[in-house]
A and B are shown apart, each in its own frame.
Chain A
Amino acid sequence: MSQFTDWDILRNLLLAARWTVLLSLIAFAGGSIVGLLLTFMRISRRRSLIWVTRIYIEIFQGTPLLMQLFIAFFGLGLLGIDVSAWTAAALALTLFSSAFLSDIWRGCVESLPKGQWEASRCLGLNYLQTMRYIILPQALRIAIPPTVGFSVQIVKGTALASIIGFVELTKAGTMLNNATFEPFKVFALVALIYFLLCYPLSRASQYLEERLNVAGKRA
């Protein structure tokens, strides 16, 4: 049996952390695309569309991410689609993030004063033009800090993919723990790497929010 030095543990964890980062990026990109679609549905004036997105968000915010992962992993298999842990994790995290992101973004659009819409109407802009030139540019500015903040939740969410067998940082931690019997050291290192990934994002979100508030006060 081979012995693990501290450097071996750290090196393997860092190698596995690449998958945590990649899965986070995919979930964030996928979640943004689906979330944007949902946001447009939610702020449309069609009642049916609004209800569909409401129920979607309610379901994904009201059930554990772990359940969503299990259902994606086992449920898709039943439909005859062969899913790897990788696909299931990417899919579940995408849907999960899209629900939260669209909820955040809807709030940003709705926080704009009603006068903006009325003024655009008076200037003869149609719905799409109002969106494109008036609403979205302003909403985007407000949306950046909470979106960056939510990305921390995505990085932390990827840790649950370890449970369906996707080898990322947490799974590598449990495997190394089984090999070295040094849980205190291994999980402290795992936590440290997550912290190093998430803390800069948290700080960036805070910083952006403070800057936005200052800019808002000056205007």
Chain B
Amino acid sequence: MSYQLNFGALLDYQDVLLDGLWMTVKLTLISTVLGILLGVLGAAARRHRNAALRHLSKAYVELIRNTPFIVQLFFVFFGLPAIGIKMTAIEAGVLALVINLGAYLTEIIRAGIDATPKGQLEAARTLGLSSRQIFIRIVLPPAFQRVYSAVVSQCIIVMLGSAVVSQISVPELTFAANFIQSRNFLSFESYLVAALFYLILAFLMRLAFNLIGARAFSRKEKTL
């Protein structure tokens, strides 16, 4: 029990840590935006007139939600190049994150869509809106608002999940911590600092989403 924690030595590697942090932020931003788009598309497919699309969307959701992210990542990074689809580690990481987030958001947004009052659909149809107009203008905005907090939580879970992307050597925060501890053997300190960064990121993400949500949804209510 004579071990002395030595956080000072990490300062030599602050560039590595900050670069890793920045990469995690970038990965999270890209996969959040694309993941939400995929989630909306998936939810639209799930409630589409075409039965094939509905089944496809359901199979996608069940397949992704019932397998670990790391296996999905390895499948994308190692498995797809074997059948001729080549990509860099970062591309594979983003692709896996987007596919993963998209499946969860499909299910979440679908739940929001299902809660749409029937009268709104009937009214929209009576007004002669096409089914695409109904989905984009009538169904989607309030559905998204209804499930917004679940969407936020899922995006944060995916941000935390991006730590796994270090395993295919994407230089993000966890990779940086791995790198540092392999150099100076201060494993406990490195991982503790990285964990603290994740905690702060999760906090800031929630804050940012709440601000965005407050602006986006309050404006809508004013115009109504």
Contacts and interface: CB of A to CB of B under 8 A. Distances in A.
Interface of A: 58-59, 62-68, 70-71, 74-75, 78-80, 152, 155-157, 159-160, 162-163, 170, 173-174, 177, 182-184, 186-188, 190-191, 194-195, 198-199, 202
B199 A188 contact: no
Contacts of B124: none
A195 B66 contact: yes
B69 interface: yes
11 contacts: A58-B199, A62-B202, A64-B164, A66-B163, A75-B191, A159-B68, A163-B70, A170-B70, A170-B71, A173-B74, A188-B75
Interface stretch (B15-23, B76-84, B127-135, B214-222): B76-84
Contacts of A155: 68
A195 B67 contact: yes
B188 interface: yes
Interface in B190-218: 191-192, 194-195, 198-199, 202-203
Nearest to B83: A184
Where chain B touches its partner, the secondary structure class is: helix
Interface of B: 1, 3, 62-63, 65-72, 74-75, 78-83, 160-164, 166-167, 174, 177, 181, 187-188, 191-192, 194-195, 198-199, 202-203
Contacts of B195: 63-64, 67-68, 71
Query: Which of A58, A64, A79, A182 has the most chain B CB within a 10 Å cutoff?
Result: A64
B188 A74 contact: yes
A124 B72 CA distance: 56
Given A71-B188, A182-B82, A202-B66, A187 B163 contact: no
Contacts of A62: 160, 198-199, 202-203
A198 B66 contact: yes
Contacts of B69: 156, 159
B57 to A, nearest CB: 16
The listed residue with most A CB atoms (<10 A of its CB), out of B69, B163, B164, B181, is B163
Looking at A174, A182, A183, which has the most chain B CB atoms within 10 Å of its CB? A183
B141 to A, nearest CB: 27
A160 B198 contact: no
Given A64-B198, A173-B74, A187-B78, A79 B1 contact: yes
B150 to A, nearest CB: 14
A150 B13 CA distance: 38
Contact of A159 (B70, B80, B188, B198): B70
A155 B69 CA distance: 11
A184 B3 contact: no
Contacts of A183: 74-75, 78-79, 81-82
A71 B167 CA distance: 17
A153 B143 CA distance: 26
Given A71-B195, A159-B69, A194-B66, 11 more contacts: A62-B160, A63-B160, A64-B163, A67-B174, A79-B1, A184-B80, A186-B79, A188-B75, A191-B71, A198-B65, A198-B66
A174 B75 CA distance: 10
The 5 closest A-B pairs by CB, nearest first: A159-B68, A183-B78, A64-B163, A198-B66, A74-B187
B170 to A, nearest CB: 13
A194 B68 contact: yes
A79 B203 CA distance: 30
Contacts of B70: 159-160, 162-163, 170
A96 to B, nearest CB: 11
A58 B156 CA distance: 13
B66 A199 contact: yes
A124 B80 CA distance: 66
A74 B67 contact: no
Nearest to A59: B199
A65 to B, nearest CB: 8
